[in-house]
């Protein structure tokens, strides 16, 4: 009856009235930007900053109030002129708009595996690198913190599928990068959304997506705000080293050395501990000398008083560090423009003396409407940082420094190994102090400019150019070390200057159309990406003064040396498209296709195409589902996709590269002057092709009791084919000394599941609570390999500790298996091949660095003005190769200090010992890779506890503020672990090569931090 509706329309137009009101959240706070729509029409508005709105509606209308992250509410006007609404938070946030990079989607419509970080919760902890916010917050994503100030964490999504860069592709507004250092330049307070694409849904990013994609969008203000919102967030933290190993005191070390000599059958005759029938701690270092003049180096006698208990070197080089952060932002928006301006400063000193990281950032995000159809905007950020390193090497020196050496000699100079019997470690205290004027300065500019235009109804064109420019500038001064037993003859200054750039130019056309119950969302795009870096490292020796105002290369008197110079670039050109069709908000299907052309490959391998499909079915919207059932949401989803990986540490991996090489290639062919030589420095592989991953994902989402309780379960299988590794079997020890070629070495499968459980509720008395649990499991298996196996990093004393082989997980520990002690107190190794003798053929797999599962637990409690959150995070079933035991448990450096574990060494009456019989030298190959070094690395860590108190509006307003909250927080307060090293949370691979993971060597331990902070708005 068309006539009726026509007459109604007429009626609507004639009988209008103005309704005003306020939209509040369930705590009574106004909700700015909430949508108010007259039901069944397109007539609507948004609330202003105070949550107020005004709308002309027809009589008898019903208003629909909605806001992202809240449940929609419908209220009939019923002749009132004022309608206020209170919106409850929507636990499932199914209506939340998720930014997927090129496009957006509401959460309920997703068919791929997309995890979102609760940014406000995750950035409660003092987050330095935005990627840290992923730790324990989303299932399937493993994040290991790096405690070296300024160093980014290591991120792995769903197992280990590649051996090179496992970092996901980061999309930061319009910028694309896989360099996690870039995230240092993102102020965590500026982050609006952080979403992780874990499966074939990432295929839209094709060649760079196989490690997953992390999409970060930053806050941009809102249109139609009626006044600027100013926020200030600041905190001060006090950090200490969470755990240190127990080492011997001076007498204990002497006793160990004494017993070692006795066991060896040699007379005890130690330059410091004497030659009596027991070790005696000397009152001063016997025969202590230090350098008194140079050229030639002349040592002179000096005196150094020994601390009777010995020096605690770890204590001497660590401190309580004070962390400070201030962040400020102002956001506003009018009808045709909006902006968010922010600035922050962070000072994050390390627990090691003289280590430091400082960063200051400014960001401006703004957007302008030009007419109805065009929007122009930008994100622009500048960051300046300075870090002073001094990482795990100093901890290693501290572990193996003799406790007899005092920190300072009797004249107040740094003391060192200038006396016999005190080893040859460098004083870590002196080293840290001498590097205090070194710096690593970085200036980074990043951002993008975009324009989007609505070409016709439903059709939008968007062009974005984003990029980053960075400039590194470092100074490393190596000062003289007169206290050291192996002193330098001359000091040296090394400077590095390096400029890098990366840009992405993206153009997309997006068509969205709704007709009847069907929705179509289609996208096509074209993209170019280019990255490059150019720089040099120059050094010079012999500086007259060791004061920082003298540290300029032209002040050295040695010949300047160009240690390194480089200039390389890579590029990628892509075409892509996607199409989504949905019916009745119940059935969804999406397909994507991307073609990439990479400068890293040649010929037919240069270009590849990556497809994906996904589908979803919202069962709970079917008629046969009872609407009042406890099961409020029920969705199946599944996806399949192919993803690529072309991220390699080499820009030109397909060609042989020879270089003129001063260090390794030149030779004095005429006996005196140096002739220039060239060497083959890297071997190319013209047949190199993409590493591709085939990802299958199947999931179910369940919501109960109006989505108060949610369960997400996803199963996945990711098959990585043509895994790219440097082939050290091809360029082995019998080969040319060039870098090994990158080859497509084999296939790896990661199979597993991710589970997320969420419960959120509020009692009638106003007690709010929520629990969020995520749990992830993967099984990694090598299914094909070009050679029988590949060994991991060989640079450890005793050689590689891990091996990658078909049928095992990537990088499984490999060595001898210790099964007890022999009758003489040596390690007894298992005779694996039962041939009656123990040799290299008796090595076997002795542990896996891969966890059985990882998990995170997040609890939120709120009552009246108080809020409390607890965050626990852990890993279960992974092994760690505790490489530090080579120094602490064995006489690798006999006069260096040891762990208290050596007090439980084998003796004829202590046969159930931890360690073999003491000796002053390594016996029976006991430091070659073996199972003694493999420990259970499981841990459960109370990562964060925060208690906050929000002052009442009355109190806040009385001091001129809109809101005011204070909090106290503890980070890493408690760790449950059986691991005996510094810390079970380790970034395993120094080289970044995933064929060697889970090795604890020169790792900077995590900090325990107590933080006080406040958040205010005005």
Partner 1 sequence: CSDDFTEQPAIGALSDAAVQNEDGVELLLIGAYSTLDGIRNNLSGNGFAASGDNWWFDVLADDAHKGSTDGDQAELFEMETYNWTTGNPYVLGKWSSTFAGVNRSNAVIALIATIEDADLTGKLAEARFLRGHFNFELQRIYGNVPYISEENYANTEFNQPNPGPIWDQIEADFQFAVDNLPATQAQSGRPSSWAAKAYLGKVHLQQSEWAPALALFEEIINDGPYALNSEFVANWESAGENSSEAVFAIQFTADDAVSYNGNIGGVLNFPNPGPFGSCCGFYQPSQDLVNAFQTDGSGLPLLDTFNQTDVANDYGKEDDEAFTLHTGPLDPRLDYTVGRRGIDYNRYGTFPGHSWIRATFSDISGPYLPAKNVYQSGDTDNQGSGAWGQQHAGINYHIIRYADVLLMGAEAAVETNDLASALTWTNLVRNRAKNMTYIQDETGEVDAANYEIEPYTAFASQDFARKAVRHERRLELSMEGHRLFDLRRWGNAASVMNEYITNESRTIPNFGTKANTVEAKHDILPIPLNAIDLSGGILQQNPGY
Least distance in Å: CB of 743 to partner 1?
10
CB neighbour burial string for 499-527, b if at least 16 within 10 angstroms, e if fewer: ebbbbbbbebebbeeeeeeebebbbbbeb
What is the size of the binding site for partner 1 (CB under 8 A)?
A: 119
Segment lying near partner 1 (by CB under 8 A), choices 121-129, 797-805, 996-1004, 1007-1015? 797-805
CA–CA gap between residue 144 and residue 157 (Å, rounded): 12
CA separation for the pair 818, 877 (Å, rounded): 20
Using the rule CB under 8 A, is 489 a contact of partner 1?
yes
Tell me: does residue 597 bind partner 1 (CB under 8 A). yes
DSSP 437-483: T-EEEEEEEEEEEEEEEEEETTEEEEEEEEEEEEEEEEEEEE---TT
- Report in angstroms how near the CB of residue 488 gets to partner 1 at its nearest: 5
Give the residue among 578, 610, 576 at the shortest CA–CA distance from 592.
Answer: 578
Range in contact with partner 1 (rule: CB under 8 A) among 91-99, 366-374, 723-731, 961-969: 723-731
Decide: residue 192, CB within 10 A, 0-12 exposed, 13-18 middle, 19+ buried.
middle
Would you count residue 921 as binding partner 1 (CB under 8 A)? Answer: yes
Q: Please, what is the minimum distance in Å from the beta carbon of residue 292 to partner 1?
A: 10
**Nearest-10 Cα torsion for 269, 274, 275, 278:** -120
Q: Report if residue 277 touches partner 1, rule: CB under 8 A.
A: no
Applying CB under 8 A, among 680, 696, 968, 973 the residue interacting with partner 1 is 680
As given in the structure block, the two tokens for residue 902 are: 């050596």
Please, which of residues 547-566 interact with partner 1 by CB under 8 A?
558-561, 565-566
Instruction: Tell me which DSSP letter residue 816 carries.
Output: B
What is the C-alpha separation between 617 and 634, in angstroms, rounded? 8
Please list, in sequence order, all residues whose beta carbon lies within 8 angstroms of the beta carbon of residue 92, skipping any fewer than 6 positions away. 107, 108, 633, 703, 707, 710, 758
What is the torsion angle, in degrees rounded to the nearest 10, for the CA atoms of residue 826, residue 827, residue 831 and residue 835? -20
Cα separation, 173 vs 693, in Å, equals: 25
Q: Least separation, in Å, of the C-beta of 474 and partner 1?
A: 17
> Segment 886-905, which members bind partner 1 (CB under 8 A)?
891-896
Q: Does 652 help bind partner 1 (rule: CB under 8 A)?
A: yes
Instruction: Check binding of 372 to partner 1 (CB under 8 A).
Output: no
With beta carbons less than 8 A apart as the criterion, state whether 242 and 1006 touch.
yes
Give the CA radius of gyration of the chain.
32
Q: Which stretch binds partner 1 (CB under 8 A): 24-32, 62-70, 237-245, 539-547?
A: 539-547
Q: Binders of partner 1 among 434-463, rule CB under 8 A?
A: none
- DSSP 8-state secondary structure symbol assigned to residue 265: T
Would you say 34 or 493 has its CB closer to partner 1? Answer: 493
Which DSSP letter does residue 91 get? S
Burial class (CB in 10 A: 0-12, 13-18, 19+), 674: exposed
Residue 270 is a binding residue for partner 1 (CB under 8 A): yes
Closer of 191 and 791 to partner 1 (Cβ): 791
For the bound state, the minimum distance from the C-beta of residue 421 to partner 1, rounded and expressed in Å, comes to 6
Tokens 């270089």 belong to residue: 659
Report CA torsion sign: 478, 483, 485, 487.
positive
| 991 binds partner 1, rule: CB under 8 A | no
User: Which region, judged by CB under 8 A, interacts with partner 1, from 217-225, 317-325, 488-496, 579-587?
Assistant: 488-496
Question: ∠ CA 98-589-204 to the nearest 5 degrees?
Answer: 55
Q: Which of 343, 346, 438 lies closest to 389, judged by CA?
A: 438
Q: Which of 60, 308, 799, 820 is in the footprint of partner 1 by CB under 8 A?
A: 799
672 binds partner 1 per the rule CB under 8 A: yes
Residue 578 Cβ, how far from partner 1 at the closest point, in Å? 21
Is residue 536 close enough to count as binding partner 1 by CB under 8 A?
A: no
Quick check: 176 binds partner 1 (CB under 8 A)?
no
By beta-carbon proximity to partner 1, the closer residue of 83 and 250 is 250
Q: Is 810 in the site for partner 1 (CB under 8 A)?
A: no
Q: Which residue from 77, 133, 197, 291 is in contact with partner 1, where contact means CB under 8 A?
A: 291
Give burial (CB, 10 Å; 0-12/13-18/19+) of 624.
Answer: exposed
Query: Using the rule CB under 8 A, is 528 a contact of partner 1?
Result: yes
CB of 727 to partner 1, least distance (A): 9
Closer to partner 1 by CB, 296 or 412: give it: 296
> Which CB sits closer to partner 1, 626 or 663?
663
Positions 220 through 249 that interact with partner 1 (CB under 8 A): none
For partner 1, the binding residue among 424, 605, 719, 957 (CB under 8 A) is: 424
Segment interacting with partner 1, rule: CB under 8 A, options 162-170, 445-453, 592-600, 767-775: 592-600
Residue of 893, 1010, 859 lying closest to 253 (CA atoms): 893
Q: Which two tokens stand for residue 876?
A: 């279960």
790 neighbors 725 (Cβ within 8 angstroms): yes
Interface with partner 1 (CB under 8 A), residue from 2, 372, 457, 670: 670
Which is nearer to partner 1, 466 or 616 (by Cβ)?
466
The footprint of partner 1 on residues 324-363 (CB under 8 A) is: none
User: What's the min distance (Å) between Cβ of 308 and partner 1?
Assistant: 23
Task: Please tell me the distance from the alpha carbon of residue 163 to that of residue 860, in angstroms, as a whole number.
Answer: 38
Smaller CB separation from partner 1, 601 or 939: 601
Coil/strand/helix, residue 138: coil
Minimum Å gap between C-beta 540 and partner 1 is 7
Ranges within 612-651 binding partner 1 (CB under 8 A): 651
According to CB under 8 A, which one of 675, 959, 976, 1012 is a site residue for partner 1? 675
Element (H, E) at 5: helix 2-14
Closest separation between CB of residue 57 and partner 1, Å?
51
Minimal distance, residue 169 CB to partner 1, in Å: 18
In angstroms, rounded to a whole number, what is the distance separating the alpha carbons of residues 371 and 373? Answer: 6
Pull the structure tokens for residue 875. 């890993």
> Which of 264, 761, 781, 962 is the binder for partner 1 (CB under 8 A)?
264
**Binding to partner 1 in span 45-64, by CB under 8 A:** none
Identity of the residue, 149 or 500, whose beta carbon is nearer to partner 1 in the bound complex: 500
Map the footprint of partner 1 across residues 935-974, applying CB under 8 A.
Answer: none
CB of 598 to partner 1, least distance (A): 7
Least distance to partner 1 from the beta carbon of 685, Å? 9
| Piece in contact with partner 1 (CB under 8 A), picked from 64-72, 352-360, 483-491, 934-942 | 483-491
Phi-psi region of 629 (alpha: psi -120 to 50; beta: other; left: phi over 0): beta
Q: Which residue is it, tokens 């009442």?
A: 952
289 lies in the binding site for partner 1 (CB under 8 A): yes
Comparing CB distances to partner 1, the nearer of 679 and 900 is 679
Query: Contact region for partner 1 (CB under 8 A) — 179-187, 390-398, 728-736, 908-916?
Result: 728-736
Distance CA 921, CA 938 (A): 32
Per the rule left: phi > 0, alpha: psi between -120 and 50, beta: everything else, 234 is beta
Binding to partner 1 in span 733-772, by CB under 8 A: 733-739, 741
- Decide if residue 582 touches partner 1 (CB under 8 A): no
The residue count of the chain comes to 1018
Instruction: Give the dihedral sign, CA 281/284/286/288.
Output: positive
Residue 95 interacting with partner 1 (CB under 8 A): no
541 lies in the binding site for partner 1 (CB under 8 A):
yes
Strand order in the sheet with 52-58: 52-58, 16-25, 85-87
Let me know: does 9 contact 42? Beta carbons within 8 Å: no
Apex CA 311: angle with CA 306 and CA 312, to 5°?
170
Residue 61 or 801 with smaller CB distance to partner 1: 801
């Amino acid at each position: 009856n068309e006539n009726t509706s026509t007459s109604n329309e007429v009626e609507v137009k004639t009988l209008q009235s103005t309704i005003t009101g306020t939209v509040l959240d369930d705590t009574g706070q106004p909700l700015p930007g909430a949508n108010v729509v007259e039901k069944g029409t397109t007539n609507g508005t948004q609330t202003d900053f105070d949550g107020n709105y005004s709308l002309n509606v027809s009589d008898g209308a019903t208003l629909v109030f909605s806001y992202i992250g809240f449940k929609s509410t419908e209220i009939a006007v019923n002749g009132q002129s004022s309608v206020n609404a209170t919106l409850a938070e929507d636990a499932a946030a199914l209506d939340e708009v998720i930014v997927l990079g090129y496009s957006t989607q509401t959460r309920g419509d997703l068919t791929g595996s997309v995890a979102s970080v609760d940014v406000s919760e995750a950035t409660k902890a003092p987050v330095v690198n935005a990627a840290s916010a992923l730790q324990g917050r989303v299932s399937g994503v493993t994040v290991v913190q790096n405690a070296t100030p300024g160093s980014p964490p290591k991120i792995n999504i769903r197992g280990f599928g590649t051996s090179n860069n496992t970092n996901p592709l980061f999309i930061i507004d319009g910028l694309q990068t896989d360099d996690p250092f870039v995230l240092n330049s993102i102020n965590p307070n500026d982050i609006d959304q952080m979403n992780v694409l874990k499966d074939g849904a990432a295929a839209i990013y094709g060649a760079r997506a196989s490690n997953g994609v992390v999409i970060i969008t930053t806050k941009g203000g809102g249109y139609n705000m009626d006044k600027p919102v100013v926020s200030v967030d600041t905190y001060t933290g006090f950090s200490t080293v969470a755990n240190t190993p127990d080492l011997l005191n001076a007498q204990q070390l002497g006793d160990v050395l004494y017993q070692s000599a006795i066991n060896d059958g040699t007379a005890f005759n130690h330059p410091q501990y004497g030659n009596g029938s027991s070790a005696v701690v000397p009152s001063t270092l016997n025969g202590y000398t230090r350098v008194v003049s140079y050229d030639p180096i002349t040592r002179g006698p000096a005196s150094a008083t020994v601390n009777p208990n010995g020096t605690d070197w770890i204590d001497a080089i660590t401190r309580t560090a004070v962390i400070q952060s201030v962040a400020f932002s102002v956001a506003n928006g009018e009808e045709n423009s909006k902006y968010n301006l922010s600035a922050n400063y962070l000072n994050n000193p390390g627990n090691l003396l003289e280590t430091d990281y400082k960063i200051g950032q400014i960001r401006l995000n703004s957007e302008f409407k030009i007419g109805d159809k065009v929007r122009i905007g930008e994100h622009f950020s500048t960051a300046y940082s300075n870090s002073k390193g001094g990482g795990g090497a100093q901890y290693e020196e501290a572990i193996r420094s003799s406790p007899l050496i005092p920190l300072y000699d009797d004249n107040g100079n740094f003391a060192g190994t200038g006396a016999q019997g005190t080893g040859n470690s460098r004083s870590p205290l002196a080293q840290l102090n001498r590097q205090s004027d070194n710096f690593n300065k970085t200036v980074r500019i990043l951002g993008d400019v975009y324009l989007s235009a609505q070409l016709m109804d439903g059709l939008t064109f968007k062009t974005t150019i984003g990029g980053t420019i960075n400039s590194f500038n470092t100074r490393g001064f190596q000062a003289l070390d007169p206290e050291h037993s192996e002193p330098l003859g001359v000091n040296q200054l090394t400077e590095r200057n390096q400029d890098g750039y990366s840009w992405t130019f993206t153009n997309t056309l997006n068509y969205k159309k709704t007709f009847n119950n069907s929705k179509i969302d289609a996208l096509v795009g074209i993209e170019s990406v280019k990255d490059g870096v150019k720089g040099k490292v120059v050094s010079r020796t012999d500086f007259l003064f060791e004061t920082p105002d003298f540290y300029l290369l032209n002040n050295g008197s040695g010949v300047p040396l160009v240690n390194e110079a480089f200039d390389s670039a890579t590029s990628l050109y892509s075409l892509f498209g996607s199409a989504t069709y949905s019916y009745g908000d119940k059935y969804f299907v999406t397909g994507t296709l991307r073609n990439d052309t990479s400068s890293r490959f040649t010929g037919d391998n240069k270009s590849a195409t990556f497809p994906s499909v996904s589908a979803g079915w919202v069962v709970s919207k079917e008629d046969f589902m009872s609407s009042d059932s406890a099961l409020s949401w029920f969705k199946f989803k599944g996806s399949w996709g192919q993803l690529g990986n072309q991220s390699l540490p080499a820009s030109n991996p397909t060609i042989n590269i020879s270089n003129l090489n001063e260090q390794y290639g030149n030779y004095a062919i005429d006996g005196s002057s140096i002739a220039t030589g060239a060497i083959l420095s890297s071997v190319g592989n013209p047949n190199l092709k993409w590493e591709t991953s085939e990802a299958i994902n199947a999931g179910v989402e369940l919501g109960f009791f109006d989505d108060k309780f949610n369960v997400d379960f996803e199963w996945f299988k990711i098959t990585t084919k043509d895994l790219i590794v440097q082939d050290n079997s091809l360029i082995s020890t019998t080969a040319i000394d060039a870098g090994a070629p990158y080859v497509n070495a084999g296939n790896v499968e990661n199979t597993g599941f991710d589970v997320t459980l969420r419960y959120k509720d509020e009692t009638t008395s106003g007690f709010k609570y929520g629990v969020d649990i995520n749990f992830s499991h993967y099984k990694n298996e090598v299914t094909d390999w070009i050679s029988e196996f590949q060994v991991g990093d060989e640079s450890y004393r005793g050689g590689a500790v891990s091996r990658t082989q078909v049928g095992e997980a990537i990088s499984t520990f490999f060595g001898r298996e210790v099964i007890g002690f022999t009758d003489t107190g040596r390690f007894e190794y298992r005779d694996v091949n039962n041939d009656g003798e123990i040799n290299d053929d008796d090595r076997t797999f002795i542990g896996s660095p891969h966890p059985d599962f990882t998990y995170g637990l997040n609890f939120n409690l709120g009552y009246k003005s108080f809020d409390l959150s607890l965050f626990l995070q852990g890993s279960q079933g992974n092994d760690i190769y505790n490489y530090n035991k080579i120094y602490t448990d064995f006489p690798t450096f006999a006069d260096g200090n040891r762990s208290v574990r050596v007090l439980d060494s084998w003796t004829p009456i202590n046969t159930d010992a931890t360690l073999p019989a003491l000796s002053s030298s390594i016996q029976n190959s006991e430091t070659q890779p073996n199972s003694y070094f493999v420990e259970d690395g499981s841990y459960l860590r109370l990562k964060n506890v925060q208690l906050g108190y929000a002052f009442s509006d009355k109190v806040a307003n009385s001091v001129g503020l809109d809101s005011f909250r204070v909090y106290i927080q503890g980070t890493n307060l408690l760790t449950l672990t059986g691991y005996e090293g510094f810390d079970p949370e380790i970034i395993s691979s120094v080289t970044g090569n995933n064929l060697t993971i889970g090795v604890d060597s020169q790792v900077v331990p995590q900090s325990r931090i107590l933080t006080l902070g406040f958040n205010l708005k005005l």
